Amino acid sequence: MRRASQRSSRGLTWSFSGLFLLLLGCSGAGDPTGTLEVPRWPEGTVLVCAGDPIQVDEVDMIAEALRPLGPKFTQPHLRRLALTNIRLPLAAGRALGGKERREQALRDAEGSLRSIEAVDHAADEALGILTEGAQDALGLPLWVLLQGMEANVWVGPSELPGQFVLVKLVGRDGNERPQREQFTVRVLSFPYVDDPPSLAKEALKSTLEVVDETWEPLVPGFWRHQMETADDSRG
C-alpha cells in the first residue's frame, strides 16, 4: 500500500502557511534614511478579518472549487460565497482559538496521520466519524475539500474553520448534479475552538479591514454592517 503521506498533498489545505511579508526598498536606494519599508500586510491582501490577512489567490482557489455548484455564477458571486462560507469563518476561528491552541491541534493531527500510516489498511476502517450526504449536509468547507480527492486515502491535515481534519473519501455516487452528489467520508477532527460550526456567526463579531476597495462589495452588506471596522475596534 502506498503511504498516505505521499498522497496527502493532493488534498486542498486552507492553512496557506506559505504567506510571507515582502520587504520594499531593501537596498535603501532613494531613501535618505536608509530604513527598510515593510508593508503592513502581505502582497495580494484584499481584506483583513480579525487580524488575519486574506489574499486574492486563496479566495479564488476556493471560488473555483465552488464553480460546479453554479456554472453560471459570476466570479464576484463565487468570491462572495468563498468569503462568507469559508474564509471569513476561518479567520474568526483562528482569532478565537489563538495561536497556541491552533498549533497544538495541527501537531495532534500530524501525529494521528503518522499513526495511521503505521497500521495495516484494514485497521483504519473504524477511525473517525462516518459522514454521509450531499453538499448541504456536509457543509461547503468539507465539500470543497472532497473535490478531486482520491478514494480510500487519508488526506491531511487540512484546515477547515476552527479545526484541522484528516479525511478519507470512502465513496461517492457520481450524481451529475454536483450539489446533489452523495459522499461517504470518514473525518478525524482536531478542533482548536469549542464549537467550529458556530464560526459563521462568530465572524460577524470580528473586525474587518478593507485593503482593496474593489473587494468591499464582495462582503454582503449585512456582514459589513455587523462587523466592526479595524479602526472602530481600536477606538
pTM of the model: 0.80
C-alpha cell at 148: 478531486
C-alpha cell at 65: 472549487
- Give the CA angle between residues 47, 141, 154 to the nearest 5°: 125
The closest alpha carbon to 87, from 19, 23, 186, 31, belongs to 19
Per-residue confidence in pLDDT tens, the chain, 235 aa = 444 444 443 334 433 333 322 222 333 334 444 455 556 899 999 999 999 999 999 999 999 999 999 989 999 999 999 999 999 999 999 999 999 999 999 999 999 999 988 876 655 677 899 999 999 999 999 999 999 899 999 999 999 999 999 999 999 999 999 999 999 999 999 999 999 888 888 999 999 999 999 999 999 999 999 997 755 444 4
* Domain interval for residue 47: 4-234
CB contact at 8 A, 182 and 132: yes
The closest alpha carbon to 139, from 175, 116, 113, 167, belongs to 167
What are the start-end ranges of the H helices in the chain? 4-7, 56-66, 75-82, 88-97, 99-117, 135-138, 140-146, 199-203, 221-226, 230-234
Q: Structurally, how many domains does the chain consist of?
A: 1
What are the CA-CA distances from residue 210 to residues 185, 218, 234, 235 (Å)?
37, 11, 15, 17
C-alpha cell at 192: 482548536
C-alpha cell at 221: 452588506
